[in-house]
Amino acid sequence: MQIDGIRWCRYPTRAFLAALLLSFAATAAAQQPDRAALPLEPGTPIPDDYYRAEFVILERIIEPEAVNERMSGRTVDAPTETEEVLWSAMKDGTTETTLELAPRDDLHLASAAARLERSGRYRVLVAAGWYEAFPPDYEGTPLRVRAGDWIEDARARDVEGHITIDRQRYLHVNVHLNHWQLAEKMPEQSVDTVTDLSRETPSPAQASDTEETPAVAATTEGAAAQQLPVLAEPAPLELLTWIRETRRMRSEEIHFLDSPTIGVLVFFKKIETTE
């Protein structure tokens, strides 16, 4: 379904988002970028098929128990190997990217992101945009995304995946995001699964009956000094929801792709050569 330049995915659209995004779609064409804001050297002509690509990834504030979909049993492929990063949030809260991101205030979707946060119904995880030429037959490299809450036991962010931009006749955006939660705890392992060290380490009574030579004693002390603490394996995760969708884009259309818990706003602005 399309409403005045806004395209929606299959999930029901809430009236709040519809009214909000319609107001921004109406002003998209009137917004012109500042030439000084473009990441080009002074005097450099604007390339053909030059766009500002914008993405806002958000999370609906909803209890996991309220999600009707049951996706914990879904099989999820291993993360796509890529060196390009759109947004990667580290454990300490810092972020990494391989793109030259534009300031958030320069984004057309910045106001929409701010109003979504103020509504109290959504939390913005990523608001990023950059300038790039997307000529016909452009084949983009997947852009890694890691965002959301840090799950300490799993040592991972709860939203991860990748976004890919290609161009044939039109721009195509492929969004592949997973929203994770900790898996339900498995029953405690029995004591039989614990490594039995008594077979390698003699008991005090056995040790008293055995006289160690100096060489053996030195080897034992050296091995003990080299022992390092063993880190526990990361806790298992299970899928809460995901987004798997490819969308055909036109310039100055706002697209919204969502699942019951996460969503992505997408916007492209073509930068025309002006006198």
Q: pLDDT tens per residue, the chain (275 residues)? A: 333 344 444 444 455 565 556 555 555 544 555 555 688 887 788 888 999 999 999 999 988 888 887 788 888 998 999 999 999 999 999 999 999 999 999 999 999 999 999 999 999 999 999 999 999 999 999 999 999 999 999 999 999 999 999 999 999 999 999 999 999 765 444 334 333 444 444 555 554 554 555 555 555 555 555 665 566 788 999 999 999 999 999 999 999 999 999 999 999 999 987 64
Assigned domain for 195 exists = no
Assigned domain for 226 exists = no
Q: Could you tell me the two tokens for 97? A: 């990217």
Strand partners of residue 129: 54
DSSP class of residue 37 equals G
Total structural domains within the chain:
1
Assigned domain for 56 exists = yes
Residues 6+ apart with CB under 8 A from 124: 56, 57, 58, 113, 116, 117
Q: Could you tell me the two tokens for 7? A: 């395209």
Using DSSP, state whether 200 is helix, strand or coil.
Answer: coil
Distance CA(268)–CA(228), nearest Å, equals: 51
* Contact present, 144 and 86 (Cβ < 8 Å): yes
- Phi, psi dihedrals of residue 192, rounded to the nearest 5°: -65, -20
Q: Is 127 exposed, middle or buried (0-12, 13-18, 19+ CB in 10 A)?
A: buried
Assigned domain for 87 exists = yes
Distance CA(209)–CA(158), nearest Å, equals: 56
pLDDT for 184 equals 79
pLDDT for 3 equals 36
pLDDT for 274 equals 63
Give 3-state DSSP helix, strand, coil % of the chain, rounded to 5: 20, 35, 45
Assigned domain for 191 exists = no
Q: In this structure, are strands 85-89 and 143-151 parallel, antiparallel, or unpaired?
A: parallel
Assigned domain for 240 exists = yes
pTM confidence score: 0.75
Q: Which domain holds residue 123?
A: 2-28+50-184+233-270
Residues 6+ apart with CB under 8 A from 178: 76, 159, 160, 161, 239, 242
Using DSSP, state whether 241 is helix, strand or coil.
Answer: strand
Using DSSP, state whether 90 is helix, strand or coil.
Answer: coil
- Phi, psi dihedrals of residue 38, rounded to the nearest 5°: -75, 145
Distance CA(240)–CA(140), nearest Å, equals: 28
Assigned domain for 193 exists = no
Q: Of 17, 4, 16, nearest to 256 (Cα)?
A: 17
Assigned domain for 206 exists = no
